[in-house]
Structure 1
Amino acid sequence: MTAPVRTHLARAESDPAGLPDDAYAELLTADGDDLEALCALADHLRREAVGDQLTFVANRNLDTPVAADPGRADPLVDEAWALGATEVCVQGPLPADAPTTAALDLVARITGRAPLHLHAFRPAEVADAAARLALSPREFLTAARDAGLGSVPGTAARILDDGIRAWLTGGTDIPAARWTELVTTAHEVGLRSTATMVYGHVETPAEQVAHLRALATIQDRTGGFTEFIPMPILPEALPTARRVADRGCGDPGVERQQSRIARTRSVRSSTRETRALYAVARLLLHGRIDHVQAAWPKLGAELTVAVLRGGADDAGGLLLDGALDPAAGAEAGRRLTLGDVERLAAALGRTPRQRTTVYGDASPERQAVLRELAAPR
């Protein structure tokens, strides 16, 4: 083990969340024996924080245009309930021609059909729904909460750095400060949220640490985050040189952006980077955010196991597709079964636990429905 990493890990054993940012940035570059020692410490902290459980939630994802259409959404919500779900997650912008009250109508209709937890409206979608109703975001979130909204996705955080966000989306993302304001407002009106990061493109270790630090600051203020979910960027989400040339991306020049693209091709997220990031997140967020979710739809089976052995504790959602319209959600075709989770837990030496969105225990009735449907026929 190298001397700097040995020094950082020795200090982290007694104060995992108390290292200076440059130490966390150096730990993000760990490899070989250094990486194994970092992941071992993160796994120890995971056990200290949440024990030897592997949690998961039975949920269904719906794209917002689907959820806003009663003719499509109502039978899908009924089916999700029949399949044992406790949560419906809705993400994506409302259709441009949707009625002014579409967001609140969606909330009331879904939660009125079944006692499901509705997890909906990313920060940009909160701002859009509020503007349609001529309300402030706080007024909209309060009205949505009163109509039955349970929590909001803390997605589209990407990296909370305006230059990186502009590069990734051509300037279409809301500013990092606006994302922070909207998530904080949701917490202040009593709505919990996830916290996320999309990594593995052009951000540096120091920028990853700054993102984690921004999330920690929000959590210190509100306590509203339920879990942290790091997600590697997918190839189709990377900007192309033509997109950069067309949009400019808000940076000083196209040449600089094309240089970033060339760099991206050589620094795409690796197994090493992913393991180090999950482990450092466990350290920096220790005592703040107890749960770190393995983003299995984007990691694949082998890397999911690796991060669960190095700081992560939650398997996320089963993503129940159902038979009526399996393509109704953004991650259609990717799902876990109860058997998958049980086998994964056994391999890790942990006990599977079906949770709610906010990490309580799923009701015995919901657990029984899921187990009955998973039983051999």
Structure 2
Amino acid sequence: MLPSSVYEELGLGSIREKVLAGERLSLEEGLRLFECPDLLAVGALAHHVRTRLHGWTTYYVVNQHINYSNICVNGCRFCAFSRRKGQPGAFELTVDQILEKVRERLHDPITEIHIVGGCHPDLRLETFERLLSAIRRIRPDVRLKAFTAVEIAHFARLEGLSTRQVLERLRAAGLDMLPGGGAEVFSPRIRGLLCPEKLSGEGWLQVVREAHELGIKTNATMLFGHKETLQERLEHLDALRRLQDETAGFVCFIPLPFQPHNTKVDDARGTTGVEELKTIAVSRLMLDNIPHLKAYWVMLTVKLAQVALHFGADDLDGTVVEEKIGHMAGADSEQALTRWELERLIAEAGFEPVERDSFFEKVSGERGGANADTAKERGAA
């Protein structure tokens, strides 16, 4: 933490005191943090909260991402991933092809399989039930994290079911958790500009509320850096915070910087490193009831993700492999990292690497932590 005089000079003295006392920040205080010109001062506050919650631990997961199709009826302006059926670049994996991808990595000690795709006009719920059940038979010990709230609502429309019924059927087939995608920014103004065909922000929150009520944990995301205002970012964070007060079902928050390449967003500017780090820090400070914050290296790049660990993030995601959504929008990060590479990145940043599962439960045994001594050597500064 920087000296109190620094925060007094920046007009953030009262915010510093609330952070030290563990008190909730208001949206107005969040705006003052966003507008603060001193990135390091804001980052130091977030780092204080991060270390209060997690010490010097930084988590990672050995996981596998599978995108089953990019064929989608929504046509979001910011999405470089989606295609209409029959368009060049459109793809759709069969159940057998997905299962082959799972079998290809049977030699890896994966604890999580992450499955998402577009809102396909023809794929029915039974297909996904069959897929989850088959993966569960092949890899009975993995956590199946699959289908955004947007996909759940799409399945419900296709089948004439309620979203709760869809969630119940997928849970019975083996679903453990929902990822946090599709949240974007909840602002109706932004959704009208960028994704008018997509599930509304209120709809996203309702599907996630139902998942939590059924005992299905979820993550949450925010796609930032396109056309939203700082106030709209803060209102998004506040909506997540209020739902977490109600359900306590969010495990991790993932701020996602907008990737402007190959999208249909006019005057797309993309984010800067300063904007990304400040958004991560303010998110950590505002989301006082969501335990974990991820520096998603796929969109941040591994180098900035390392820095983000000092700005409030306590998780570096995982090995991933074959991520398509961010990369089709121009992300220039690697497609995959090994466990050794993840541990090295974490340790070099001064933290202790700990392998986790989807629920941030520590993976037992001697797996992980090979570079922990590096982190311990830097002391408790």
TM-score interval, normalised by the smaller of the two chains: 0.7 to 0.9
Deviations 1:212-262 (A, max 9, x none): 000101111111111010010001365344xxxxxxxxxxxxxxxxxxx4x
Compared CA separation, residues 106 and 141, structure 1 to 2 (3 A) = same
Deviation at 1:68, TM superposition (A): 6.0
3-state DSSP class of the match of 1:230? strand
Residue 99 (structure 1) shift: 4.3
The answer as to whether partners of 1:196 and 1:231 remain within 8 angstroms in 2 is: yes
Alignment partner of 1:283 is 2:285: yes
Which of these residues, 40, 46, 60, is aligned with residue 42 of structure 1? Answer: 46
What residue in structure 2 maps to residue 346 of structure 1?
347
Match of 1:274 in 2: 276
**Runs of 5+ in structure 2 lacking a partner?**
1-5, 70-90, 329-333, 371-381
State the identity %: 30
Name whichever of 48-57 and 131-140 sits farther off: 131-140
Aligned equivalents of 2:272 and 2:12: distance in 1?
A: 20
Which residue in the other structure is 1:29 paired with?
A: 35
Secondary structure of 1:315's counterpart equals strand
| Structure 2 Cα separation of the partners of residues 92 and 217 of structure 1 | 28
Q: Distance in 1 between matches of 2:198 and 2:187?
A: 11
| 1:17-70, Cα deviation, whole Å (9 max, x unpaired) | x22211111101222xx3212211211211110121111111111112489623
Name the CA distance, whole Å, in 1 between partners of 2:33 and 2:262. 27
Code of the residue aligned with 1:211 in structure 2: it is H
Specify the SS of the correspondent of 2:203: helix
Match of 1:58 in 2: 62
Return the alpha-carbon distance in structure 1 between the equivalents of residues 295 and 100 of structure 2.
30
Query: Equivalents in 2 of 1:203, 1:330: separation in Å?
Result: 19
Change (3 A) 1:94 1:166: closer
Q: Which residue of 2 aligns with 1:178?
A: 203
Q: How does 1:249-260 map to 2 (within 5 A)?
A: none
CA deviation profile, 1:317-352 (whole Å, cap 9, x unmatched): 21135xxxxx88875952122222222222222211
Q: Residue 148 of structure 2 aligns to which amino acid in structure 1?
A: R
Q: Which residue of 234, 253, 263 corresponds with 1:209?
A: 234
Deviation at 1:303, TM superposition (A): 1.6
Aligned to 1:316: 317
- TM-score scaled by structure 1? 0.82
Deviations 1:56-105, CA, capped at 9 Å, x for gaps: 11111111248962321222112233212111111113643334511212
Q: Does the residue aligned with 1:309 lie in a helix, a strand or coil?
A: coil
SS in structure 1 of the partner of residue 118 of structure 2? coil
Contact 1:59 1:80 in 2 (8 A): no
Query: Aligned equivalents of 2:146 and 2:356: distance in 1?
Result: 18
2:125 and 2:169 map into 1 onto residues whose CA distance is: 14
3-state SS, counterpart of residue 96 of structure 1: coil
RMSD between aligned residues:
2.4
Against the structure 1 CA distance between its residues 352 and 62, is the aligned structure 2 distance closer, same or farther, given a 3 Å change threshold?
A: same
What's 1:165 paired with?
A: 191
Q: CA shift at 1:139, angstroms?
A: 1.1
Deviation of the 1:10 alpha carbon:
3.0
User: SS state of the match for residue 82, structure 1?
Assistant: coil
The letter of the residue matching 1:136 is: S
Amino acid at match of 1:60: Q
**Could you tell me which of 92, 117, 123 is aligned with 1:98?**
123
Q: What is the one-letter code of the residue matched to 1:43?
A: H
Select the residue among 139, 146, 152 that pairs with 1:114. 139
Matched, 1:151 2:163: no
User: Whole-Å Cα distance in 2 between the matches of residues 3 and 75 of structure 1?
Assistant: 56
Partner of 2:18: 11
Separation (CA, whole Å) in 2 of partners of 1:240 and 1:350: 38
Higher relative contact order (CA 8 A, sep 6+): 1
Deviation for aligned residue 1:125: 0.9
The residue type paired with residue 15 of structure 2 is: H
Report if aligned partners of 2:319, 2:337 keep a CA contact under 8 Å in 1.
yes
SS of residue in 2 equivalent to 1:235:
coil
Please name the residue that 2:375 is paired with. Answer: none
SS of 2:52's equivalent in the other structure is helix
Q: Select which of 133, 143, 160 maps to 2:159.
A: 133
Distance in 2 (CA, whole Å) between partners of 1:179 and 1:237 is 25
- Tell me, what secondary structure is at the counterpart of 2:218? strand
Q: In structure 2, how many angstroms separate the alpha carbons of the residues matched to 1:210 and 1:240?
A: 22
Q: Secondary structure at the match of 2:182?
A: coil
Aligned partners of 2:113 and 2:145 also within 8 Å:
yes
Query: CA separation in 2, counterparts of 1:339 and 1:316?
Result: 14
Q: Which one-letter code corresponds to 1:298 in the other structure?
A: M
Q: Which has the higher helix share?
A: 1
8 Å Cα contact 2:298/2:326 also seen in 1 = no
Opposite residue 307 of structure 2, the aligned amino acid is: A
* 2:114–2:145 Cα contact (<8 Å) kept: yes
Partner of 2:222: 197
Deviation string 1:89-126 (CA, Å, 9 cap, x unpaired) is 11113643334511212221221221221111111210
Unaligned 5+ residue runs, structure 1? 242-260, 322-326, 372-377
